[in-house]
C-alpha cells in the first residue's frame, strides 16, 4: 500500500493506522535516504503503542528500547544500522535474542546494511522524502484470512 504524507503529523497518522495490524513479534524494515521520514515513522509507531517520551535517533546508540504496556506488545526495539558497514559488527550486539520475540515490535532502519537473511522482516516500509513524503508498506506475512485477531 502506498501512503502520502505532507508533514510529521500525517506520517504519524499513517504509522498509527499501521500499528492497528500489529500483534507482537513483527520485524519492520524501514528503508530510505537520510531525511526520508524513517525515524518519524517509528516515532508514530511508538506513540501509537503508548510510548510518550521522545523517540531519539538511534544512529549513535544503534539500539533504543521503548517499554510499552499493551495486551501483547511490551517493548519496541528501535534499531539503526546507519553506521554499520561490516556484517561482523552486528552479532556482538546480541540482537537476535530480542528481535522477533512475541512481545516485541522491532523496527530496523538501514536494514540493508545487515546481510540478507540475518534478520527476517514481516513488514517492509520504503520511505521517500519529498513533497509529499511517500511510504510504501508491504506485509511479507502469509495472508491470514479467517485467522482471529488476538488483540
Residues at the contact surface with other proteins, assessed by CB under 8 A: 33-36, 39-40, 54-57, 59-62, 82-86, 88-90, 92-93, 129-131
β-pairing, 123-128 vs 27-31, is parallel
- Residues facing 90 on adjacent strands: none
- The minimum distance between CB 89 and other proteins, in angstroms, equals 3
Contact 140, 6 (CB under 8 A): no
- The minimum distance between CB 14 and other proteins, in angstroms, equals 17
Burial class of residue 18 in the structure, from the number of CB atoms within 10 Å of its CB (0-12 exposed, 13-18 middle, 19+ buried): buried
* Cβ proximity to other proteins, 34 vs 150, nearer residue: 34
* Cβ proximity to other proteins, 90 vs 108, nearer residue: 90
DSSP labels for 19-79? HTT--S--EEEEE--TTSSHHHHHHHHHHHTT--S-----TTTSEEEEE---SS--EEEEE
- The minimum distance between CB 124 and other proteins, in angstroms, equals 22
* Cβ proximity to other proteins, 87 vs 151, nearer residue: 87
> The C-alpha cell of 73 is what?
506488545
* Cβ proximity to other proteins, 62 vs 134, nearer residue: 62
- The minimum distance between CB 57 and other proteins, in angstroms, equals 5
Amino acid at each position: 500500500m502506498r501512503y502520502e504524507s505532507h508533514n510529521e503529523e500525517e506520517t504519524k497518522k499513517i504509522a498509527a493506522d499501521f500499528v492497528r495490524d500489529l500483534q507482537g513479534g513483527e520485524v519492520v524494515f524501514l528503508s530510505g535516504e537520510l531525511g526520508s521520514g524513517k525515524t518519524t515513522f517509528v516515532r508514530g509507531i511508538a506513540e501509537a503503542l503508548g510510548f510518550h517520551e521522545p523517540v531519539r535517533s538511534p544512529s549513535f546508540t544503534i539500539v533504543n528500547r521503548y517499554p510499552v504496556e499493551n495486551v501483547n506488545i511490551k517493548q519496541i526495539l528501535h534499531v539503526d544500522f546507519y553506521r554499520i558497514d561490516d556484517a561482523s559488527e552486528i552479532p556482538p550486539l546480541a540482537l537476535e535474542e530480542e528481535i522477533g520475540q512475541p512481545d516485541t515490535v522491532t523496527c530496523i532502519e538501514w536494514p540493508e546494511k545487515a546481510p540478507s537473511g540475518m534478520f527476517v522482516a514481516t513488514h517492509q516500509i520504503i520511505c521517500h522524502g519529498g513533497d509529499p513524503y511517500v511510504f510504501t508498506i508491504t506485509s511479507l506475512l502469509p495472508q491470514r484470512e479467517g485467522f482471529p485477531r488476538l488483540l
